[in-house]
Chains A and B, each alone.
Chain A
Amino acid sequence: MSTETLTKTPVPEPAAAPPRVNAPRRGRRSRKASLASHAVLIVASLVALFPIAWLVFLSLGPDKDDYLHPSRILDTATLSNYTFVLGQTNFLKWLGNTLIVSLGTTVIGVLVAATSGYAVSRMRFPGYKKFMWVLLVTQMFPVAVLMVPMYVILSDLGLIDTYAGLIVVYLTTAVPYCAWLMKGYFDTIPLEIDEAGRVDGLSPFGTFFRLILPLARPGLAVAAFYTMITAWSEVAFATTFMLDDQKYTLAVGLQSFISEHDAQRQYMAATAVLIAVPISAVFYLVQKNLVTGLTAGGTKG
Chain B
Amino acid sequence: MTVAVERPAAPSGGDRGRRPGLTARLKNGYQKHWYAYAMIAPVVIVLALIVLYPLVRGFYLTLTDADSLNSARTIGVNHIDATYKFIGLDNYADILWGPTSYDRFWSHFIWTIVWTASCVTLHYVIGLGLALLLNQKDLRGRTAYRLMLILPWAVPTFVTVFAWRFMLADSGVINTTLDAMSLPSPSWLEDPLFQQIAAILVNTWCGVPFMMVSLLGGLQSIDSTLYEAAEMDGASAWQQFRNVTLPGLRSVSSTVVLLGIIWTFNQFAIIFLLFGNTAPDAQILVTWAFYLGFGQTPRDYAQSATYGVLLLSLLIVFTSVYRRWLNRNDVSAAI
Stretch at the interface among A74-82, A83-91, A215-223, A232-240: A232-240
Distance in Å from the Cβ of A259 to the closest Cβ of chain B?
A: 11
Q: Which of A51, A150, A176 contacts B160 (CB 8 A)?
A: A51
Distance in Å from the Cβ of A35 to the closest Cβ of chain B?
A: 11
B278 interfacial by beta-carbon distance below 8 Å: no
CA distance A280 to B213 in the complex (A): 16
Asked if residues B136 and A119 are in contact (CB atoms below 8 Å), the reply is no
Interface centre among B3, B6, B133, B334 (most CB of A within 10 A): B334
A11 interfacial by beta-carbon distance below 8 Å: yes
B residues less than 8 Å from A11 (CB atoms): 220-221
Asked if residues A149 and B61 are in contact (CB atoms below 8 Å), the reply is yes
Asked if residues A141 and B152 are in contact (CB atoms below 8 Å), the reply is no
B187 interfacial by beta-carbon distance below 8 Å: no
Asked if residues B163 and A52 are in contact (CB atoms below 8 Å), the reply is yes
Given the contacts A54-B173, A146-B51, A235-B158, A204 and B35 also touching, CB distance less than 8 Å = yes
Q: Which of A24, A67, A155, A301 contacts B169 (CB 8 A)?
A: A67
B72 interfacial by beta-carbon distance below 8 Å: yes
In the complex, chain A residues 237-271 whose Cβ is within 8 Å of any chain B Cβ: 239-240, 251, 254-255, 265, 268-269
Asked if residues A138 and B158 are in contact (CB atoms below 8 Å), the reply is no
Interface residues on A, range: 35 or more
Given the contacts A45-B145, A45-B148, A136-B335, A148 and B9 also touching, CB distance less than 8 Å = no
B286 interfacial by beta-carbon distance below 8 Å: yes
Asked if residues A279 and B5 are in contact (CB atoms below 8 Å), the reply is no
Distance in Å from the Cβ of B241 to the closest Cβ of chain A?
A: 14
A residues less than 8 Å from B164 (CB atoms): 51
Distance in Å from the Cβ of B134 to the closest Cβ of chain A?
A: 7
B residues less than 8 Å from A4 (CB atoms): 2-3, 5, 332
Asked if residues B155 and A276 are in contact (CB atoms below 8 Å), the reply is yes
Asked if residues A146 and B58 are in contact (CB atoms below 8 Å), the reply is yes
Nearest residue in A to B315 (C-beta to C-beta)?
A: A140
Given the contacts A48-B148, A299-B259, A148 and B213 also touching, CB distance less than 8 Å = no
A residues less than 8 Å from B12 (CB atoms): 198
Asked if residues A140 and B156 are in contact (CB atoms below 8 Å), the reply is no
B residues less than 8 Å from A239 (CB atoms): 294
Q: Which of B150, B167, B213 contacts A54 (CB 8 A)?
A: B167
Asked if residues A287 and B9 are in contact (CB atoms below 8 Å), the reply is no
B121 interfacial by beta-carbon distance below 8 Å: no
Q: Which of B210, B228, B294 contacts A301 (CB 8 A)?
A: B210
The number of residue pairs between A and B whose CB atoms lie closer than 8 Å in the complex comes to 328
Distance in Å from the Cβ of A4 to the closest Cβ of chain B?
A: 5
A189 interfacial by beta-carbon distance below 8 Å: no
In the complex, chain A residues 20-74 whose Cβ is within 8 Å of any chain B Cβ: 20, 23-24, 26-27, 29, 34, 37-38, 40-41, 44-45, 47-49, 51-52, 54-55, 58, 67-68, 70
Asked if residues A147 and B294 are in contact (CB atoms below 8 Å), the reply is yes
Q: Which of B134, B255, B266 contacts A142 (CB 8 A)?
A: B266
A residues less than 8 Å from B152 (CB atoms): 48, 51
Q: Which of B133, B137, B140, B166 contacts A265 (CB 8 A)?
A: B166
Distance in Å from the Cβ of A184 to the closest Cβ of chain B?
A: 7
Distance in Å from the Cβ of B48 to the closest Cβ of chain A?
A: 10
B138 interfacial by beta-carbon distance below 8 Å: yes
Asked if residues A191 and B7 are in contact (CB atoms below 8 Å), the reply is yes
Q: Which of B54, B148, B334 contacts A149 (CB 8 A)?
A: B54
Given the contacts A129-B1, A269-B166, A251 and B158 also touching, CB distance less than 8 Å = yes
Asked if residues A125 and B36 are in contact (CB atoms below 8 Å), the reply is yes
Asked if residues A132 and B1 are in contact (CB atoms below 8 Å), the reply is yes
Nearest residue in B to A265 (C-beta to C-beta)?
A: B166
Stretch at the interface among B97-105, B188-196, B306-314: B306-314
Interface centre among A137, A145, A287 (most CB of B within 10 A): A145
Q: Which of B157, B210, B315 contacts A233 (CB 8 A)?
A: B157
CA distance A146 to B307 in the complex (A): 11
Asked if residues B255 and A299 are in contact (CB atoms below 8 Å), the reply is yes
Distance in Å from the Cβ of B260 to the closest Cβ of chain A?
A: 10
Asked if residues B54 and A153 are in contact (CB atoms below 8 Å), the reply is yes
B33 interfacial by beta-carbon distance below 8 Å: yes
CA distance A198 to B13 in the complex (A): 12
Distance in Å from the Cβ of B209 to the closest Cβ of chain A?
A: 8
Sample of 10 A–B contacts (CB below 8 Å): A3-B3, A49-B148, A122-B7, A146-B54, A148-B293, A204-B36, A235-B157, A280-B154, A283-B154, A301-B214
Which residues of B are at the interface with A, using a C-beta cutoff of 8 A? Answer: 1-3, 5-7, 9-12, 29, 33, 35-40, 42-44, 46-47, 50-51, 53-55, 57-58, 61, 66, 71-73, 129-130, 133-134, 136-140, 145, 147-160, 162-164, 166-167, 169, 171-173, 205, 209-210, 213-214, 216-218, 220-221, 224, 228, 231, 251-252, 255, 259, 262-263, 265-266, 268-269, 272-273, 285-286, 289-290, 293-294, 301, 304-305, 307-309, 311-312, 315-316, 319, 332-335
Given A138-B51, A147-B290, 12 more pairs with CB closer than 8 A: A10-B218, A29-B136, A48-B148, A67-B166, A123-B9, A153-B54, A204-B35, A208-B39, A269-B162, A276-B155, A279-B154, A298-B333
